[in-house]
Amino acid sequence: MSSLRRRKPINESSDSKHKAEEEDEDHDDVDADGDDDVNGKNKKTPSKIKKKRGEKPPKQPKWSCMDTCCWFIGCICITWWLLLFLYNAMPASFPQYVTEAITGPLPDPPGVKLKKEGLEAKHPVVFVPGIVTGGLELWEGRECAEGLFRKRLWGGTFGEVYKRPLCWVEHMSLDNETGLDPCGIRVRPVSGLVAADYFAPGYFVWAVLIANLARIGYEDKTMYMAAYDWRLSFQNTEVRDQTLSRIKSNIELLVATNGGRKVVVIPHSMGVLYFLHFMKWVEAPAPMGGGGGPDWCSKHIKAVVNIGGPFLGVPKAIAGLFSAEAKDIAVARALAPGFLDNDIFQFQTLQHVMRMSRTWDSTMSMIPRGGNTIWGGLDWSPEEGNSCAKKREKKNETQIADQAGSENAVCKAKSANYGRIISFGKDVAEAPSSDIERIDFRGAIKGHSAANTTCRDVWTEYHDMGFAGIKAVAEYKTYTADSLVDLLHFVAPKMMARGTAHFSYGVADNLDDPKYKHYKYWSNPLETRLPNAPDMEIYSLYGVGLPTERAYVYKLSPHAECSIPFKIDTSADDEDTCLRDGVYSVDGDETVPVLSAGFMCAKGWRGKTRFNPSGIRTYIREYNHLPPANLLEGRGTLSGAHVDIMGNFALIEDVIRIAAGASGEELGGDQVYSKIFNWSENINLQLDEEIPVHSSS
């Protein structure tokens, strides 16, 4: 008993000691977590009591809303590719069997049809892709781009967009001062026909046309893809990559190896402007030009077949540079208010897009050219009286002359002021010019920076304007083509300093002025002459029948200081004036208005003019848009949309006939559905060499 009595205190002390040690451990854990109150007492929480001594909490991965969105896009792409794989894995006859069961027998592709007629390959063909349709691959990059050597950053699968978006933006951007490669980064154009045959798996650009040309005998040695880095200014493609010299050499080689037959050049979209630049460069003396002499084009080019050419620019380019949006983006913002502008989750997509695209000098080649003379002023526009809904029928040259008496009476009563390309508010867009009180922004003093330090990751030039500069832009109320260039100089001075060194936007008074020998004028058809090549032909092929952006209603953005301060007012609608979701529309191919695509061939170059002194023959071929009859038809064989038209059977047939030796007259001359000839006559542009140019009103 005595021994038991002696052991009991020992057990109690050991138990108490053990409990004390446990309490000390808990106390240490709490102290380590810094959970003592002001009186020194422990604030124990169940989660912290369970932590082991010395164990650190797991590091949470840094995740942003942009990552989530990019992964979501990746999932959509993977699903699309899987469905595409399953479609291609079917027996070749099965899709055709299903389609013919629904729609009836399919017509022969143009290449098969023309081969049956006996057409064969004759003139070598040169393709000139447009902006964004050519592939770009990485040759040198930063640490974040490890393992991407010669992988496509643009075109193809776009895998790097959603796996490492900010790294991709960094490598796709150019230097904001020079417009060339940033230090330590080299992105170069993909070469060969694969450079622009498909933009992404299943989404063709040139592939259908190439395949149909192959059916009449064309092959790699008679076709050449003039790939270039579409981000650069046109002259800088020669400075950095010698691309213009390569095009010259390849055309000379094609002519020499094909029995002296001249080439047929087929530019698309911005490639039209790029090839205009090339034709002046190749004849200009070195070092600024290629030194080919004044008859180089006459010796080497049979025809230039322009597809969807923005000869006079596109208003859509203004929206992209001004607010990083166009109609589609504006509608998406309206459906999900604040989502694309939200800075809380570091999304800032539009800011990243703006910062990147403003380093691409090529985008400035598509700013509207010709000023108010071409695009209209506050109270007039060439397309005045345009109707949004009208039936189309093919017109021959006799019917074109009778178009003037067929104006729509309703649209005459209430017509859109298309000359006001940007208006702040629907009331301003519709008001008489005498009722608009404007405060000139050009001399406005920009205020203090509106952005705080959290915006630095996506710093845009708007953050340097401050609230005073932003207010000055809005108080000018409405902008015509003449004032748009000044507007861009005000909101994006670095971008426009580079842009105006490489591109021009006016109308020449005297083309003999020595200043027009500079390369900045070579891609502007209103400030340069066509080559001396009377046997050459120029075609303008483009789609019509689709609403195409022409003017915009803007408003100040109510969002936080890191956002883009201006956006399209999607609440502005008026069916009578073709206004929908804040965008005024006219006839075109969804990207290029008819006026820009057709004016030069309809009037500016037609016959012998000061812009076409040798009288090169010009033709307009329009293709009325018809949507696919069913889902199995894909993007349609009768589409007039800007890119989808590359699969239009009628257009492909025309191109093949020209390549096989047909002239414009043999093709049938002009094929017109729009009012391009009427609208061209509304433009008071003097075409005689001796008479100076005057603006119209």
The rounded distance, in Å, linking the Cα atoms of 179 and 170 is: 14
Q: What is the 3-state secondary structure (H, E, C) of 219-259?
A: CHHHEEECCCCCCCCHHHHHHHHCHHHHHHHHHHHHHHCCC
CB 391: neighbour CB atoms within 10 A? Answer: 4
Instruction: With CA atoms as reference, report the closest residue to 538 among 410, 670, 419.
Output: 670
Instruction: With CA atoms as reference, report the closest residue to 351 among 363, 340, 336, 339.
Output: 340
What is the residue type of 329?
I
> Which of 29, 341, 569, 589 is the catalytic position?
589
The rounded distance, in Å, linking the Cα atoms of 295 and 532 is: 7
Element (H, E) at 430: helix 426-430
Q: What does each C-alpha distance from 212 to 108, 113, 126, 488, 639 come to in angstroms?
A: 11, 10, 15, 43, 17
Instruction: With CA atoms as reference, report the closest residue to 664 among 628, 632, 617.
Output: 617
**Does 565 sit behind a cis peptide bond, omega within 30 degrees of 0 on the bond before it?**
no
Tokens, residue 21: 């040690």
> Which of 269, 381, 483, 563 is the catalytic position?
269
The rounded distance, in Å, linking the Cα atoms of 675 and 401 is: 10
Q: Under DSSP, is residue 573 helix (H, G, I), strand (E, B) or coil?
A: coil
Distance of CA 427 to the CA centre of its chain: 30
Instruction: With CA atoms as reference, report the closest residue to 302 among 492, 107, 539.
Output: 539
> Which of 29, 639, 642, 680 is the catalytic position?
642
Q: Is 489 a catalytic residue?
A: no
The rounded distance, in Å, linking the Cα atoms of 481 and 526 is: 15
Q: What does each C-alpha distance from 455 to 110, 171, 328, 342, 440 come to in angstroms?
A: 54, 20, 25, 12, 29
Q: Is 642 a catalytic residue?
A: yes
What is the residue type of 484?
L
CB 101: neighbour CB atoms within 10 A? Answer: 9
The rounded distance, in Å, linking the Cα atoms of 172 and 144 is: 13
Q: Is 502 a catalytic residue?
A: no
Residues in a beta bridge with 268: 307
The rounded distance, in Å, linking the Cα atoms of 374 and 43 is: 76
Helix spans in 414-505 (H): 426-430, 466-475, 481-491, 493-499
Active site residues: 269, 589, 642
